[in-house]
Amino acid sequence: MSDTFTALVLRETDDGHVGALEQLTDADLPDGDVTLAVEYSSLNYKDGLALAGRNRIVRSYPMVPGIDLTGTVIASDSPNWHVGDEVISTSFQVGERYWGGYTQRQRLQSEWLVRRPESMSARTAMAIGTAGLTAMLCVMELETAGVQPADGPIVVTGAAGGVGSVAVALLSGLGFEVTAVTGRPETQDYLRSLGATAFRTREEMSEPPRPLESETWAGAIDTVGSTMLARVLAQMKFRSTVAACGLAGGHDLPTTVMPFIIRAVRLQGVEAVMAPIPMREAAWTRLADDLPSDVVDTITEVVPLTEVLERGPTILDGQVRGRWVVDPNA
């Protein structure tokens, strides 16, 4: 094994921060009890914010960004993990407060790791990443609430993004009728290939809603928030459930209590950053079983580490379709 490895490092400046590829050694790595040879990471919306220096995502410098990573254990002081184990780490403030996945080698805390399912490749794991994990947690919340395919259609907002793409594929594979909301008509063929059978435009679903509208959706996965979430709530069927996991459209919610009181609608928040390990393990097992590898290939583009800095702003502009997997060894 080489004494040095390549990492993307953000360093603080008077104007914010600057990022560059650097050669590091194990002595540069942070404290932790498990060291990994990183095989892949991914590029998420939060990574785009970190790279751009927005929203104070990065909490300390220097920082190696990348909230997701997967790789093989090459050293361990933890009784739970051994050399050769294949593991996944998503969130736990990795890439924000702690060094993350845009590197060929990383040292982490053992309690942030889950075992990669045997049937899942490293590339597939990062094609899923935090976005796919979040989508699976949303689907599981709908299932827990008793939502079934026979109850009616499910609407997915921000459907062409990372969470939305995986959510559409999962729901379709489970037999649900899926309506996809997207602001880009050119993505409809892509979403149809994932299983969407109907579409609503971003403009239509962003119009200020009446307190209650026609009962349309048996369930919903919302990645947008704000007025779009309010519109979804106004259109929910009696005793239906919305799994809300994003705020790309804003953190406000201009709605009334009427959907909750008159139609007994349930609004369930979904959080993947600090989700407990047993919940993550269950979700990754489901993802290995329920998300076909050919679907994962459809939503995935592999990006070399050398292109991450220039790609970061693109994800903030809503121009990404599906998932970007980052290869630190390319």
pLDDT at 320: 76
| pLDDT value for 313 | 84
pLDDT computed for residue 1 by the predictor: 61
| Residue 330 pLDDT | 87
Domain locations along the chain: 4-116+299-327, 130-269
Query: What's the pLDDT at 293?
Result: 83
pLDDT digit of tens for each residue in the chain (330 aa)? 678 999 999 999 998 999 999 999 999 999 999 999 999 999 998 999 999 999 899 999 999 999 999 999 999 999 999 999 999 999 999 999 999 999 999 999 999 999 999 999 999 999 999 999 999 999 999 999 999 999 999 999 999 988 999 999 999 999 999 999 999 999 999 999 999 999 999 999 999 999 999 999 999 999 999 999 999 999 999 999 999 999 989 999 999 999 999 999 999 999 999 999 999 999 999 999 999 888 898 889 999 999 999 998 888 887 778 899 999 998
Domain 130-269 has CATH 3.30.110.40: no
CATH topology for 4-116+299-327 is Quinone Oxidoreductase; Chain A, domain 1 (3.90.180)
Task: Give yes or no on whether 4-116+299-327 and 130-269 have one common fold.
Answer: no
Q: What is the pLDDT of residue 55?
A: 87
For residue 15, the model assigns a pLDDT of 87
Q: What are the CB-based long-range contacts (under 8 Å, 24+) for 77-83?
A: 77/33, 77/34, 78/33, 78/34, 78/110, 80/110, 81/34, 81/110, 81/113
Long-range (24+ apart) CB contacts under 8 A made by 210-218 are 210/234, 211/255, 211/256, 211/258, 211/259, 212/258, 212/259, 212/262, 212/263, 215/263, 216/152, 216/153, 216/155, 217/152, 217/153, 217/154, 217/155, 217/179, 218/147, 218/148, 218/151, 218/152, 218/153, 218/154
Whole-structure pTM value: 0.93
